[in-house]
Amino acid sequence: LGLTGPSMPPLAPEWWHALGDPQLDAILAAALAGNPSLDTALARLRAASATLAESDSATAPQVTFDGSVSRQRLSGRSTIPPPFAGSTRWIASAQAGLNWNLDFFGRQKALIAQAGAGVRAAGFDAATARLSIIASVAAAYVDLSRAYALGDVARDLVVSREQSLGLANTRVRTGLGSDFELRAGETLLAEARQALVRAEAGRTLAVHALAALAGRGVDFYPTVVRPRFAPDRMAALPVAVPADLLGRRPDLLAARARVDAAVGGQAAARADFYPNVDLRALVGLSSIGIGSFFSGDARTYGGGPAISLPLFDGGRLKARYAGAAAQVDLAVADYDATVLRAVREAADALTNVAANDADLVAQRRILAGLDATIRLDRTRVSTGLGSQLDLLETGTRVLAARQAEADLVADAALRRVQLLTALGGGFTPPSDAETTR
């Protein structure tokens, strides 16, 4: 895949603690404690673990006990000797049996391997769900911070433009200004107030999203305050896609585990073509008549190997094996697609981080230029050398530029969250789950 990124130390599993925002820590803790999607993934993990335990138990000796007492008329034309033939008697039996599958051809071993891989896949799916929840909460929290920043921009402009409109009113009353100047000031103030309304709506929607992710209701809304996280405290980010971190992504590891599960299923289907060898034994008591049930002659026992071999099944085993082989091909194709998607997501995230940082630098230069321009426009208008149209146009551009700067600052944090997520979000797989890149 041409991954040439340098090796990096593992990311901290709870990297958000470094941002220094207790509110974010609390919301993430609540989201991870009771999110339905994570609960579903954990339930699937428990189900897979139960399947593994069931498969593993098949390799141990199976001991059973059967007992019965019944009153029965015995045939007079069968193998039962007189005086029992043709009479009605009590029949009693009690028997313990032992059955042990010797698994000479590895069928049970393959089923255990398949179930074990299923457990690993379910565990990685749970980690993927957890990572998705963290990313969703972080994105909503960044949107909350963005809304507060946009609100600050709008409020500052409302105050500034209210002052400008007041000056315009004074100029009109004293005959030094025109109605056009007054209408221009009113337009700029309306734009700033509209931006404030939109920022407040964005803040409210972000709070709603965080409450839903945390599993809380409307009582949660008033408790959310302004974020205090510091994006510059995030973990150091790579400049190229690091293969070692990419290989820790839980979705990629889950896809690899499904390949292992499919291979185990194929091996089990292959073993079905070979003889099934069991070791069986029994011991018990059996008698005609209750009174003789515990006599020495009532004892029965036996044992020996039992072999079963499929001879003709109408192509059932071949069809099963073909299906298992197709499942392997399907799992491999899914794994390949997951790897390619992971590489693209990581590469895109790196590009977005770099592009956003460069965009923010350029935007701040634009904003500095617009601030200088609007000061010059005000001077020119006050001296009669400029046009109110120029001031109106520049004022509108300043609002848009400040909003764009606030968006880019928020996007800088969001892009870093996306990159951390694309690199596995600090997930550390068990040592036996490491895969070859």
Q: Measured between alpha carbons, how far is 40 from 202 in angstroms, rounded to an integer?
A: 30
Q: Which of 112, 132, 122 is nearest to 53 (CA)?
A: 112
Query: At which residue do the structure tokens 């969703």 appear?
Result: 136
pLDDT given for residue 374 in this prediction? 72
Output the six-digit token pair for 271: 């073993």
User: How big is the chain by its Cα radius of gyration, in Å?
Assistant: 38
Distance from chain centroid for Cα 184:
51
User: Higher confidence at residue 329 or residue 426?
Assistant: 329
80-137, pLDDT tens digit by residue? 778 887 788 888 999 999 999 988 999 999 999 999 999 999 999 999 999 999 999 9
Model confidence at 433, pLDDT cuts 50, 70, 90, reads very low
Q: Is the pLDDT of residue 391 over 90?
A: no
Contacts with 114 (C-beta within 8 Å, 6 or more apart), sequence order: 55, 260, 261, 262, 263, 264, 265, 267, 268
Q: Measured between alpha carbons, how far is 400 from 198 in angstroms, rounded to an integer?
A: 13
Q: Do residues 367 and 159 touch, judged by C-beta distance below 8 A?
A: no
pLDDT given for residue 93 in this prediction? 92
pLDDT given for residue 329 in this prediction? 97
Would you call 242 helix, strand, or coil by DSSP?
Answer: strand
pLDDT given for residue 435 in this prediction? 42
Q: Measured between alpha carbons, how far is 226 from 114 in angstroms, rounded to an integer?
A: 49
Output the six-digit token pair for 89: 């008697």
Residue 366: count other Cβ atoms within 10 Å of its Cβ. 15
Contacts with 24 (C-beta within 8 Å, 6 or more apart), sequence order: 16, 137, 138, 141, 227, 229
User: Higher confidence at residue 73 or residue 380?
Assistant: 73
pLDDT given for residue 231 in this prediction? 66
Q: Is the pLDDT of residue 305 over 80?
A: yes
pLDDT given for residue 397 in this prediction? 76
Q: Model-level pTM?
A: 0.81
pLDDT given for residue 425 in this prediction? 87
pLDDT given for residue 39 in this prediction? 87
Q: Measured between alpha carbons, how far is 113 from 262 in angstroms, rounded to an integer?
A: 10
Q: Mean pLDDT across the chain, nearest whole number?
A: 86
Distance from chain centroid for Cα 57:
31
Residues in a beta bridge with 299: 285
Question: Which of 6-20, 62-76, 328-342 has maximum average pLDDT?
Answer: 328-342
345-356, pLDDT tens digit by residue? 999 999 999 999
Q: Identify whether 305 is preceded by a cis peptide bond (ω within 30 of 0).
A: no
What are the structural domains, with CATH classification, of the chain? 15-59+104-274+316-433 (1.20.1600.10), 62-102+277-308 (2.20.200.10)
> Taking the chain, what is the end-to-end CA distance rounded to the nearest angstrom?
9
pLDDT given for residue 263 in this prediction? 97
Would you call 102 helix, strand, or coil by DSSP?
Answer: coil
Angle at the Cα of 229 from the Cα atoms of 228 and 235, rounded to 5 degrees: 170
Q: Is the pLDDT of residue 424 over 60?
A: yes
Q: Which of 123, 113, 111 is nearest to 45 (CA)?
A: 123
CA distances to 80, 140, 364, 411 from 398, rounded to whole Å, are 108, 27, 11, 19
Q: Measured between alpha carbons, how far is 425 from 12 in angstroms, rounded to an integer?
A: 8
Contacts with 412 (C-beta within 8 Å, 6 or more apart), sequence order: 231, 353, 356, 357, 360
pLDDT given for residue 437 in this prediction? 38
pLDDT given for residue 402 in this prediction? 86
Dihedral pair phi/psi, residue 253, rounded to 5°: -65, -35
C-alpha torsion angle, residues 104, 106, 108, 113 (rounded to 10) = 160
Residue 232: count other Cβ atoms within 10 Å of its Cβ. 9
Distance from chain centroid for Cα 373:
49
Q: Which long-range contacts (C-beta less than 8 Å, at least 24 apart) are formed by 204-211?
A: 205/143, 205/147, 206/140, 206/141, 206/143, 206/144, 206/146, 206/147, 207/144, 209/140, 209/143, 210/27, 210/137, 210/140, 210/141, 210/144
Q: Measured between alpha carbons, how far is 373 from 294 in angstroms, rounded to an integer?
A: 111
Output the six-digit token pair for 210: 């965080």
Model confidence at 380, pLDDT cuts 50, 70, 90, reads low
pLDDT given for residue 275 in this prediction? 92
Average pLDDT score over residue span 323-332? 96
Would you call 436 helix, strand, or coil by DSSP?
Answer: coil
Model confidence at 221, pLDDT cuts 50, 70, 90, reads very high
Q: Measured between alpha carbons, how far is 419 from 246 in angstroms, rounded to an integer?
A: 11
Determine which of 19-28, 164-173, 308-317 has the lowest per-residue pLDDT on average: 164-173
pLDDT given for residue 388 in this prediction? 54
pLDDT given for residue 9 in this prediction? 65
Contacts with 343 (C-beta within 8 Å, 6 or more apart), sequence order: 1, 3, 241, 246
